Protein backbone atom coordinates (compact mmCIF):
# COMPACT_ATOMS: atom_id res chain seq x y z
CA UNK A 1 0.00 0.00 0.00
CA UNK A 2 1.21 3.49 -0.85
CA UNK A 3 0.21 6.58 1.11
CA UNK A 4 2.16 9.12 -0.96
CA UNK A 5 5.41 9.40 0.97
CA UNK A 6 7.91 8.09 -1.62
CA UNK A 7 9.59 11.49 -1.89
CA UNK A 8 10.69 11.52 1.79
CA UNK A 9 14.27 10.61 2.62
CA UNK A 10 15.23 8.60 5.70
CA UNK A 11 17.49 11.46 6.80
CA UNK A 12 14.57 13.88 7.13
CA UNK A 13 13.88 14.79 10.75
CA UNK A 14 10.38 14.34 12.17
CA UNK A 15 10.18 18.03 13.13
CA UNK A 16 10.25 19.04 9.46
CA UNK A 17 7.26 16.90 8.45
CA UNK A 18 3.95 18.57 7.68
CA UNK A 19 0.89 17.47 9.63
CA UNK A 20 -0.33 15.50 6.60
CA UNK A 21 3.01 13.75 6.18
CA UNK A 22 3.15 12.77 9.86
CA UNK A 23 -0.43 11.53 9.65
CA UNK A 24 0.35 9.42 6.58
CA UNK A 25 3.43 7.93 8.29
CA UNK A 26 1.23 6.83 11.20
CA UNK A 27 -1.29 5.46 8.70
CA UNK A 28 1.43 3.47 6.90
CA UNK A 29 2.57 1.90 10.18
CA UNK A 30 -1.01 0.91 10.99
CA UNK A 31 -1.50 -0.64 7.56
CA UNK A 32 1.58 -2.77 8.12
CA UNK A 33 0.09 -4.07 11.36
CA UNK A 34 -2.84 -5.59 9.41
CA UNK A 35 -5.44 -4.60 12.01
CA UNK A 36 -9.14 -5.18 11.30
CA UNK A 37 -12.15 -3.58 12.97
CA UNK A 38 -10.26 -0.34 13.61
CA UNK A 39 -11.65 3.18 13.22
CA UNK A 40 -9.24 5.54 11.45
CA UNK A 41 -9.93 9.28 11.73
CA UNK A 42 -7.87 11.41 9.34
CA UNK A 43 -7.85 15.20 9.02
CA UNK A 44 -7.20 16.28 5.43
CA UNK A 45 -4.62 13.60 4.61
CA UNK A 46 -4.37 14.76 0.98
CA UNK A 47 -2.95 18.20 1.78
CA UNK A 48 0.24 18.80 -0.19
CA UNK A 49 -0.02 15.63 -2.25
CA UNK A 50 0.61 15.44 -5.98
CA UNK A 51 -2.48 14.11 -7.81
CA UNK A 52 -0.71 10.79 -8.47
CA UNK A 53 0.01 10.35 -4.75
CA UNK A 54 -3.52 11.43 -3.87
CA UNK A 55 -4.88 8.55 -5.97
CA UNK A 56 -2.57 6.14 -4.14
CA UNK A 57 -3.74 7.48 -0.79
CA UNK A 58 -7.40 7.07 -1.78
CA UNK A 59 -6.73 3.50 -2.93
CA UNK A 60 -5.09 2.80 0.43
CA UNK A 61 -8.07 4.21 2.33
CA UNK A 62 -10.45 2.11 0.22
CA UNK A 63 -8.28 -0.94 0.93
CA UNK A 64 -8.48 -0.25 4.68
CA UNK A 65 -12.27 -0.02 4.42
CA UNK A 66 -12.44 -3.23 2.41
CA UNK A 67 -10.50 -5.04 5.16
CA UNK A 68 -13.36 -4.28 7.56
CA UNK A 69 -12.19 -1.02 9.09
CA UNK A 70 -14.07 2.26 9.46
CA UNK A 71 -12.34 5.20 7.79
CA UNK A 72 -13.52 8.72 8.67
CA UNK A 73 -11.86 11.51 6.69
CA UNK A 74 -12.27 15.27 7.08
CA UNK A 75 -11.45 16.46 3.59
CA UNK A 76 -12.01 19.21 1.02
CA UNK A 77 -10.47 17.33 -1.91
CA UNK A 78 -13.08 16.60 -4.58
CA UNK A 79 -11.67 13.18 -5.48
CA UNK A 80 -11.76 12.11 -1.83
CA UNK A 81 -15.31 13.38 -1.46
CA UNK A 82 -16.47 11.54 -4.58
CA UNK A 83 -14.75 8.31 -3.41
CA UNK A 84 -16.54 8.32 -0.04
CA UNK A 85 -19.31 5.84 0.74
CA UNK A 86 -21.13 8.40 2.88
CA UNK A 87 -20.60 12.15 3.09
CA UNK A 88 -21.71 14.47 5.87
CA UNK A 89 -21.71 18.12 4.75
CA UNK A 90 -21.40 20.35 7.82
CA UNK A 91 -22.01 24.10 7.73
CA UNK A 92 -23.26 26.49 6.72
CA UNK A 93 -20.10 28.34 7.81
CA UNK A 94 -17.08 27.61 9.97
CA UNK A 95 -16.72 27.72 13.76
CA UNK A 96 -19.69 29.35 15.50
CA UNK A 97 -21.28 29.91 12.08
CA UNK A 98 -21.57 26.19 11.36
CA UNK A 99 -21.72 22.83 13.03
CA UNK A 100 -25.02 21.78 11.51
CA UNK A 101 -25.51 18.81 9.21
CA UNK A 102 -26.82 20.48 6.07
CA UNK A 103 -26.66 17.45 3.76
CA UNK A 104 -25.61 13.82 3.85
CA UNK A 105 -25.55 10.78 1.63
CA UNK A 106 -23.40 9.43 -1.17
CA UNK A 107 -21.63 11.70 -3.67
CA UNK A 108 -24.62 11.79 -6.02
CA UNK A 109 -26.94 12.84 -3.19
CA UNK A 110 -24.56 15.60 -2.09
CA UNK A 111 -23.97 16.89 -5.62
CA UNK A 112 -27.71 17.14 -6.31
CA UNK A 113 -28.79 18.51 -2.91
CA UNK A 114 -29.54 22.26 -3.24
CA UNK A 115 -28.80 22.74 0.49
CA UNK A 116 -25.28 21.33 0.18
CA UNK A 117 -22.60 24.01 -0.05
CA UNK A 118 -20.15 21.30 -1.10
CA UNK A 119 -22.48 20.07 -3.83
CA UNK A 120 -23.13 23.61 -5.05
CA UNK A 121 -19.42 24.36 -5.14
CA UNK A 122 -18.50 21.29 -7.18
CA UNK A 123 -21.53 21.61 -9.43
CA UNK A 124 -21.14 25.33 -10.18
CA UNK A 125 -17.79 26.63 -8.90
CA UNK A 126 -18.07 29.93 -10.79
CA UNK A 127 -21.36 30.84 -9.13
CA UNK A 128 -19.93 30.81 -5.62
CA UNK A 129 -17.51 33.31 -4.21
CA UNK A 130 -15.77 34.00 -0.94
CA UNK A 131 -16.19 37.34 0.79
CA UNK A 132 -15.01 38.97 3.96
CA UNK A 133 -17.81 39.31 6.50
CA UNK A 134 -17.60 41.70 9.42
CA UNK A 135 -14.78 42.98 11.56
CA UNK A 136 -13.31 39.53 12.23
CA UNK A 137 -12.76 38.89 8.50
CA UNK A 138 -14.73 35.65 8.63
CA UNK A 139 -14.70 34.02 5.22
CA UNK A 140 -18.08 32.75 4.18
CA UNK A 141 -19.22 31.05 1.00
CA UNK A 142 -22.17 32.91 -0.51
CA UNK A 143 -24.31 32.24 -3.53
CA UNK A 144 -24.53 35.08 -6.06
Domain closes at, from 34, 53, 85: 85
CA contacts within 13 A on the Cβ side of 35? 13
Task: Tell me what the mean pLDDT of segment 33-37 comes to.
Answer: 84
pLDDT at 65 over 50: yes
117: containing domain: 88-144
pLDDT in tens, 118-128: 898 888 777 65
DSSP code of residue 38? P
pLDDT in tens, 70-118: 999 999 898 999 999 999 999 888 888 889 999 999 999 999 999 998 8
pLDDT in tens, 51-64: 888 888 898 889 88
Beta bridge partners of 51: none
Question: Same domain, yes or no, for 126 and 105?
Answer: yes
77 CB contacts (<8 Å, ≥6 apart)? 44, 46, 54
Amino acid sequence: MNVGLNYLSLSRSAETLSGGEAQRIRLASQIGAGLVGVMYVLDEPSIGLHQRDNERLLNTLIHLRNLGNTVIVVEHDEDAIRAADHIIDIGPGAGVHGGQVIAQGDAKAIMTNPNSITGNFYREPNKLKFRKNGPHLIRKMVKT
